[in-house]
Amino acid sequence: MDRTRRLRSSEALRSMVRENHVRVEELIYPVFVIEGENIVNPVASMPEINQYSPDRVMEEVDRVIEAGIKAVLLFGIPAYKDEAGSGAYAENGIVPKAIRLIKAKYPELIIIADVCLCEYTSHGHCGLVQDGIILNDETLPLLAKASVTYTKAGADVIAPSDMMDKRVLAIRKALDSAGFVNIPIMSYSAKFASGYYGPFRDAAHSAPGFGDRKTYQMDPANGREALREVEEDIKEGADLIIAKPALGYMDVIKEISLNYNIPIVAYNVSGEYAMVKAAALNGWIDEKKIVMENMVGLKRAGAKMIITYHALDVARWIHEDMGRICR
């Protein structure tokens, strides 16, 4: 007689038949770097997450290395913003500056550079604006220029998050023309116009100054449209794709994994992080159990890698559990 409980009788047996695992090597940790000196600014809506000035950012990167995490995702917060987002592609801008500092100490750490204009524009939108309209094609050369600038500084992966049509193609052509044919593009292909981004906008100072981003980010009600976005980005040269947010869009991650043979990166975004942290701080949930369940759920849905603000905690928990097993 078939009894599925037979394989659940002990932790050792359960671990042997476990279908999905979360590995430290698959975690990507976001880091916020802000212009200035001696700055460690806590992000109020994201407990334990800070903005770091270049002279203090290595404190956080040291923790990343100690945890065994192999990759960081860099976001820059400039001292000056303008309508063209010029700080995004300035050769001595905040992101290139941080990349050079990190690479000088940890050349083996994978640096993924987020490419967008929203942190750098005075209006807070991800592209150029004219008469209240976010311009698509006119924005592409600036995204391409930023991508080349970050790569020259030492970035290992370029991650465009702007959601302008054809930006992967523009970036791929620019990188190839500059001699960076081997630099991969991790495209935010399935990025939805979500309410889960609020805490990130606090951290990155990137809230739009007017309107919203619904004309370029995807409608949360659409799932099949995400497959179209992914397919277009793959055709244009994307090497990895990001689905964002993660927890509310596991169905999208699963559909992408079933339809395309490409590494999928789930972005466990700021609002998802903040909700778990708030509940944990109030004693309403077991933080470790909830976070690890979320992580393995994303792997089960088809994610190969996970961008998460929980990465340092997840890495520590994995190491602690492995230590107990080895003893």
Which residues carry out catalysis? 191, 244
Half-sphere exposure at residue 254, Cβ-oriented, CA atoms within 13 angstroms:
8
CA distance 163 to 213: 10
Query: Cα dist. 169→21, 137, 142 in Å?
Result: 34, 12, 13
Distance of CA 17 to the CA centre of its chain: 31
Question: Residue 52, exposed/middle/buried by CB under 10 A (0-12, 13-18, 19+)?
Answer: buried
CA distance 240 to 184: 8
184 Cβ contact list (under 8 Å, min separation 6): 156, 157, 158, 239, 240
